[in-house]
Chains A and B, each alone.
Chain A
Amino acid sequence: MSSTAEPKDKRKRFRMRWHKQDTELTLLALPTTIWYILFSFLPMFGIIIAFKNFRISGGFLSNVFNSPWIGIKNFEFLFKSNDAWIIIRNTIGYNMIFIITGIVLPVLFAIMIGLLHSRKASKVYQTMMFLPYFLSWVVVSAVGWAFLSFDKGIVNQVLVNMGSDPINWYMEPSYWPYFLILLNIWKGLGYGMVIYLATITSIDSTYYEAAVIDGASIWQQTRFITLPMLKLVIVMMFILAVGRIFYTDFGLFYQVTRDSNSLFNVSTTIDVMVYKQLKTATVGMASAAAFVQSVLGCATILIANWIVRRIDPDSAMM
């Protein structure tokens, strides 16, 4: 034991000293570190403007230092507004639905596509279903317009041909929760399916061979081998999604609805509200809402990560 302890000690001392390599590595990491300071850490300190009466004109630094502290006035203003409840309901409500559909459907279709006889067909379906993932929300908005436009849209033409009245879709809030949920599924299904399929194809085939010898049916193999093997990934994806429950996909709620005022009640989430306030230059409420989102988001992500670590330490972030 003592013979191994000595070189270890030496090595430790060697490791303690600052070397030329350390200088060089620091140089190599410097550009990225500066990027992180400018684009990640400065905004973190900038978050204090939520507690200030911040004005937009003039230099940033002088504004931050000179604008008066107003305590939690911005927050009072935010939570007393009638919209606060609607915005929180939309953000959390849609996310809860998205979490469920974003797990159940991709898992279901990943299992189904894995059972297809033809590998080639399976590859073709996967590739086609991956396409929406690569479309930006602006393009999706153009696609939506082609279908839902009042006077030219394809859906209204079908309605008119069937003898019903055309519907002014962008003015009718009652349909939009379904549209938004369907679009979210449409855009993410191929991507989610591929992730779960990667896990399914990595399952050791001897499990299935043993099951076949024992006379298990395909359904039993899915129920007792595939699903249990997927459980860990499903739980991970679930927790990580819950960790982001205060963040929404701005493009889905802003672009696809074409920012229609009639749809305010069903399409405004925290991100949409913050953006709109920012653009109308009412910084107080926007900064307060962004602050709430950052802090609650951080808390949920840390809690989710803590739970992940308890279930599977290798999958946790830190």
Chain B
Amino acid sequence: MTTKTAYETGLEKFNRTNKAVNLLFNLIFIILALLCVIPVVVVLSISFSSEDSIRETGYHLLPVALSADAYVYIVKQGTMILRALGVSALVTVAGTVLGVLLTTSMGYVLSRPTYKLRGFLTWVVFIPMVFNGGLVSSYFINTNLLGLKDSIWALILPLAVSSFNVIICKTFFKSTIPDGLIESAEIDGASQLRIFFSIIMPISLPVIATIGLFLCFSYWNDWFQSMLYIDNQNLYSLQALLNSLMSNVDALAKNAASMGVSYALLVATMPKESARMAVAILIVLPVAFAYPFFQKYFISGLTVGAVKG
């Protein structure tokens, strides 16, 4: 074992680009990596700039006058922002739990080779991958028939299931869970529901983590459903709030004014510009801290998805 690794590193040392090329490549990647991160740093720096400095000198790479006014404002008066944070968190948690249940149960059923309706359900999952009704008809079904307009369910339900995730689950169950395990449970008289919840789920944590992560990020980052279905500001998620702040920076002041404070006063004193970017930071921060740790599951999910079951 030790000789093998020693041999491999020996070969690796021998078989690699020369130092100059390596330096050049490193330089290229440093520039690319910075290009990917700096934009977020800019948003962070604006959120920590004082409102006066933004008004006078504009946005900067680093704050001209450091100030945490935006965050103080959020904690003290930002009921709308805090409520949006709550909506985002609720939708993300509820959606992820629901999505994981719906996806894994379907994946498990499709992975059972003796199930009589397997062929039919495979088509049910497959057809939406190639054909969909399009935005207009989905919109009318969801608003007029299912009554999802201005309902929190409009943010949760439409994103809960994707055929891609179902197929990842099916592939996982088929390739990692031995038939003998399920058969012996069946002989012991366990129902399929029981088998699924007390045998399959506990040993399927890797795939649940992968699907859960996909869902988590897509719920947290979703703004399109809000744009389509939500007009009521009380149901705005952080994304929807940032979206409305991007088109009208005074939206926050307008909302606060409706709660009794003078609108003109708020527009004059509120840290609007930095508060807007602080909302963006509230969105980005959890993601930026979480994804480096979960990257591994993400990649494994993406590569598993390419393998057909």
Contact = CB atoms under 8 A, between A and B. Distances in A.
A195 to B, nearest CB: 6
Interface string A85-129: 000000000000000000000000100110111100100111111
A50 B26 CA distance: 54
Interface residues of B, number: 104
Shortest beta-carbon contacts, A-B, top 3: A43-B133, A46-B137, A290-B134
B105 A60 contact: no
Given A28-B196, A218-B16, A190 B36 contact: yes
B292 A43 contact: no
A208 B128 contact: no
Contacts of A32: 102-103, 105-106, 161, 166
Contacts of B126: 317-318
Contacts of A297: 131-132
B246 A47 contact: no
Interface string A126-157: 11111110111111111101110101111011
Interface stretch (B27-35, B70-78, B261-269): B27-35
Given A32-B102, A127-B292, A294 B132 contact: yes
Contacts of A145: 246
Contact of B141 (A60, A134, A315): A60
A294 B83 CA distance: 37
Interface in A13-30: 15, 18, 20-22, 24-29
B306 A315 contact: yes
Interface string B1-35: 00000001001001111000110011011101111
Given A21-B192, A40-B132, A153-B58, A212 B14 contact: yes
Given A28-B193, A146-B46, A132 B29 contact: no
Nearest to A125: B29
A318 B128 CA distance: 13
Contact of B242 (A42, A139, A286): A139
Contact of A44 (B22, B133, B295): B133
Given A26-B117, A294-B132, A60 B140 contact: yes
A15 B57 CA distance: 76
B141 A112 contact: no
A125 B288 CA distance: 14
Nearest to B290: A134
Interface in B31-46: 32-37, 39-40, 42-43, 46
Interface stretch (B173-181, B216-224, B250-258): B216-224
A316 B308 contact: yes
Nearest to A24: B192
Contact of B133 (A36, A42, A316): A42
A212 B15 contact: yes
Interface string A220-243: 010000000000000010000000
A245 interface: no
A135 B40 contact: yes
5 contacts: A28-B105, A44-B132, A58-B144, A135-B221, A290-B137
A50 B139 CA distance: 13
Given A21-B114, A212-B15, A315-B308, A27 B193 contact: yes
Contacts of A152: 54, 58-59, 273
Contacts of B110: 29
B136 A127 contact: no
A165 B116 CA distance: 71
Nearest to B46: A146
B132 A43 contact: yes
Interface stretch (B89-97, B202-210, B277-285): B277-285
Contacts of B25: 112-113, 115-116
Interface in B114-161: 114-117, 121, 124-146, 157-158, 160-161
Interface stretch (A1-9, A172-180, A271-279): A271-279
B109 interface: yes
Contacts of A129: 29, 32-33, 36
B15 A146 contact: no
Contacts of B129: 301, 317
A263 interface: no
A269 interface: no
Contacts of B191: 20, 24
B60 A154 contact: yes
Point out which of B57, B133, B243 has the most chain A C-beta atoms below 10 A from its C-beta: B133
B108 interface: yes
B29 A147 contact: no
Point out which of A31, A36, A118 has the most chain B C-beta atoms below 10 A from its C-beta: A36
Nearest to A11: B114
Given A44-B132, A135-B287, A125 B33 contact: yes
Given A40-B132, A290-B134, A142 B246 contact: yes
B272 interface: no
Contacts of A130: 36, 291, 295
Interface in A287-309: 287, 290-291, 293-294, 297-298, 301-302, 305
Given A143-B39, A274-B135, A138 B140 contact: no
Nearest to B300: A198
Given A29-B106, A146-B59, A136 B283 contact: yes
Interface string A36-73: 10111111111101100010101111010000000000
Point out which of A50, A125, A153 has the most chain B C-beta atoms below 10 A from its C-beta: A125
